[in-house]
Amino acid sequence: MQKTTRLNTRAILTLMLALFAGVAQELSGQLNTNLLTYRGPVVKGVDTTTLNRKVMCGYQGWFGAPGDGSLNPGWRHWTKRPGVLTDGNAKVDLWPNVSELAPAELYLSDFKLSNGSPAAVFSSYQKATVVRHFKWMEDYGIDGVFVQRFANSVRSPGNLEFCNTVLANCREGANQHGRTYAIMYDLSGLPAGHIEDVMNDWRTLRRQMAITDDPAYLHHRGKPLVAVWGIGFNDDRQYTLEECRQLMEFLKHDPESGGCTVMVGVPAHWRELNRDSVNDPRLLEVVKLADVVSPWTVGRYSNLDEAANYAKKLLKPDLDWCRQAGIDYLPVVFPGFSWYNMYGKAYNLIPRQRGQFLWSQFLAAKQAGALMVYVAMFDEVDEGTAIFKCANEVPAGEKSKFITYEGLPSDYYLKMVGSGTKLIRGEKEIRPPSPSLSTQDGAAVMFNTLSNTAPIREPVDNSPNSQK
């Protein structure tokens, strides 16, 4: 009996090891498949040699759904907690317009639309969906995106496989539609002592994916551009300024994986070392190592008056400081903000004002002399900052509430960012899209133009300390 038991135990262990080896092999295969060098069609479109005179959007690409084929299937970023996407568990404040998506790209929630049909969303894991997003960028004249790559996500196989797939999808979309893209490492949540994880990930992308040799990958100042976001914020981050400096030095000077132009995402008050910034002079020393500086402004102002005040007191002095230091300056603009479903904060906290809020920021950046602009964000429905196609007919819930585009066409903000791109390029007489020349109640609205600088003032709630 003891011999039989030992044989059974050995057989079970052998079977378990075989299963584990099979899973590991499958995992390795899925991780590596998306790291192959791109061999697909290439359409020449925007100039990928410079960030100058470009408008780039942030692309989160973090949305997943049960059945999308990822290693860890389930709702990603659509829900607050594990479980179904249903009333009370929604994490997003905007609902995407999925009318152009094929049936295979749709993932049904438990929400219902007014006609009783189930409300559907998308997954960033699906190539067809992401490639379509890049088609929209081409259609509306948007140059490209910074693909967000979260430092914590590269530390676990399941999340890494998802990130690699989304990056491969973006790479294909950019090449097929003549757009450009660059990596933006978001350090948020990274524990102290793990900056080497980011370095190793970049080594992998350079070595296996040959990402900086990709025809659509964005270069600036003669070198591939890579961004590091989350340096100097005063929200008790565990990684240090010294670790950030080490990462920047690696990206610039490593013999194998360096030679990059480095952009840093910093707090809005980085130069003054107060408010959302750490009060540490070493931050300025780290910033001086950068080639491009991009202060994060989402939630730092909440209406037209505050946006104009920010441009006067911070944006223009920041730009002057950077020019004196030989550093390029990439201001951030955003269309509005809401995180009611995520945190229960005030609903529609920073209203879009039918596009006036975003357009005023484009004009302020242009008037200050900015040569480039970063739009936050292309697909961020979580905090209501998305500019891609979103729905006006949204699910009705008792606990979950969704903002809309205030009756404007779902592509209105794509058109506006396209107009903003022309503005930053220096084209003449650029105006925002025409549908918002009147408000919902019929009252006339006058948008700012470069010859008409009197903003309409409408006070709203104070801005939050936004998370990216």
pLDDT at 446: 39
Average pLDDT over residues 380-404: 97
pLDDT at 166: 98
Check: CB of residue 165 under 8 Å from CB of residue 147: no
Average pLDDT over residues 138-148: 98
Check: CB of residue 384 under 8 Å from CB of residue 413: no
Rg (CA), the chain: 23
* CA-to-CA dists, residue 52 to 213, 330, 421, 423, angstroms: 20, 9, 11, 13
Distance of CA 58 to the CA centre of its chain: 3
The residue that leads in pLDDT, 456 or 29, is 29
Average pLDDT over residues 420-448: 67
Residue of 399, 376, 395 whose CA lies nearest to 387: 376
pLDDT at 437: 41
b/e per residue 317-343 (b: at least 16 CB within 10 A) = ebbebbeeeebbbbbbbbbbbbbbbbe
Residue 418 has pLDDT above 70, yes or no: yes
Residue 464 has pLDDT above 50, yes or no: no
Residue 438 has pLDDT above 60, yes or no: no
pLDDT at 13: 45
Percent of the chain, pLDDT > 90? 82
28-37, 41-50, 126-135, 213-222: range with lowest mean pLDDT: 28-37
Distance of CA 40 to the CA centre of its chain: 25
Q: How confident is the model at residue 447 (pLDDT cuts 50, 70, 90)?
A: low
Check: CB of residue 102 under 8 Å from CB of residue 411: no
pLDDT at 62: 98
The residue that leads in pLDDT, 8 or 80, is 80
pLDDT at 8: 52
Model confidence pLDDT, tens digit, residues 305-364: 999 999 999 999 999 999 999 999 999 999 999 999 999 988 999 999 999 999 999 999
Q: How confident is the model at residue 217 (pLDDT cuts 50, 70, 90)?
A: very high
Interatomic CA distance for residues 233 and 273, integer angstroms: 10
Token look-up 């959007």 returns 57
* Average pLDDT of the chain to the nearest whole number: 89
Which is it for strands 219-220 and 223-229: parallel, antiparallel or unpaired? Answer: antiparallel
CATH 3.20.20.80 fits 54-437, yes or no: yes
* CA-to-CA dists, residue 172 to 128, 178, 460, angstroms: 10, 10, 41
Tell me how long the chain is.
468
Model confidence pLDDT, tens digit, residues 271-318: 999 999 999 999 999 999 999 999 999 999 999 999 999 999 999 999
Model confidence pLDDT, tens digit, residues 12-29: 444 444 343 343 344 444
Interatomic CA distance for residues 241 and 150, integer angstroms: 18
Cα atoms found within 13 Å of the Cα of residue 280, Cβ hemisphere only: 16
- pTM, two decimal places: 0.89
pLDDT at 428: 82
Q: How confident is the model at residue 457 (pLDDT cuts 50, 70, 90)?
A: very low
